Amino acid sequence: MNAIEIHNLTKTYGKARGITDISFSIEQGEIFGFIGPNGAGKSTTIRTLLSLIYPTSGSAAIFGKDCIKFAPEIKREIGYLPSEVFYYDNMKVADLLYYSASFYKKDCKKRIKELVEIMDLDITKKIDDLSLGNKKKVGIVQGLLHSPKLIILDEPTSGLDPLMQQKFFELLEEENKRGATILFSSHILSEVQRLCNRVAIIKEGKIVTVEKISTLKENNYKKFTVETSEQIEREYFNITGVNHIAANGNTTSFLFKGNINLVMKKIAEIEIENLWIEEPSLEEIFMHYYEKGV
């Protein structure tokens, strides 16, 4: 049984774009990335999955249970961090966390203490006295305090400094080792690349592809950087399989997908000073998907 099953999920807002025929599944124990720029439909998908909004058509299930029919039951097993967190300003952090813990039929005090220490959070302060980063820390602790089986994170690192981001990633990896499934939604591709096993790319409300990170990086594309003795026109490498050509003086770089012998023959016809063949970053692969309008 998969942790999440989404079938042809559609949400329309009149003329405004929502999501169209979204389908993918997430295995139990997986860290799954959901990437796309702001406005692509990530938050709409997540809110529909959590039955915070209802779909126009299609269905979604969490741990084999329909997300609408079994919403209250499912939510006990989920930790959710929205992209923006809003709280009662006059509450102290400690009061908010213990109030949140009261919704679950378990003693969360020990876990709250552990999480507060990891995230370096002062729980004696009032919510309205906190910075954006510290409010995000409160959201993280609130989402994890009941040791959920499924963790859903929507743009979770905004407002966190780099050191705290690193601590947060380590915390998620520990939660995953404990057995938690994680859906990690972000437009920051290096985060997804660092944490996730597989990724769904969403564009304009539709899924472009669902792939293993390793497949995206290793099997489909190579990044070539060619340094030549004399400057050449970037069009020289405009052959089948070559995309995203960039020229800077005597150095030309591009992504290549296909029979590598074709591009090597082309390179062999010119005087080169140096040649690098690397795996592209997920960022470069991602931009390729968007520019090509896949």
- pLDDT, residue 291, reads 66
Residue 269 lies in a domain: yes
List the pLDDT tens digit at each of the 294 positions of the chain: 899 999 999 999 887 779 999 999 999 999 999 998 888 899 999 999 999 999 999 999 999 999 999 999 999 999 999 988 888 878 999 999 999 999 998 899 999 999 999 999 999 999 999 998 999 999 999 999 999 999 999 999 988 999 999 999 999 999 999 999 999 999 888 888 889 999 999 988 999 989 898 887 766 678 999 999 888 888 899 888 898 899 999 999 998 988 889 899 999 999 999 999 987 777 777 777 666 554
- CATH code where residue 203 lies: 3.40.50.300
Q: State how far the Cα of 233 lies from the Cα of 212, in Å rounded to an integer.
A: 35
Q: Could you tell me the residue range of the domain that residue 29 belongs to?
A: 4-216
Task: Tell me, yes or no, whether 151 and 263 share the same domain.
Answer: no
- List the end-to-end C-alpha distance of the chain, in Å, as a whole number: 31
Token pair 């949140």: residue: 100
Domain count, the chain: 2
> pTM score, two decimals?
0.82
Task: Tell me, yes or no, whether 27 and 91 share the same domain.
Answer: yes
Helix (H) or strand (E) segment spanning residue 190? helix 189-195
Domain boundary among 216, 232, 256: 216
Task: Tell me, yes or no, whether 128 and 262 share the same domain.
Answer: no
Angle between helices 162-177 and 132-144 in degrees, nearest 10: 10
Task: Tell me, yes or no, whether 119 and 152 share the same domain.
Answer: yes
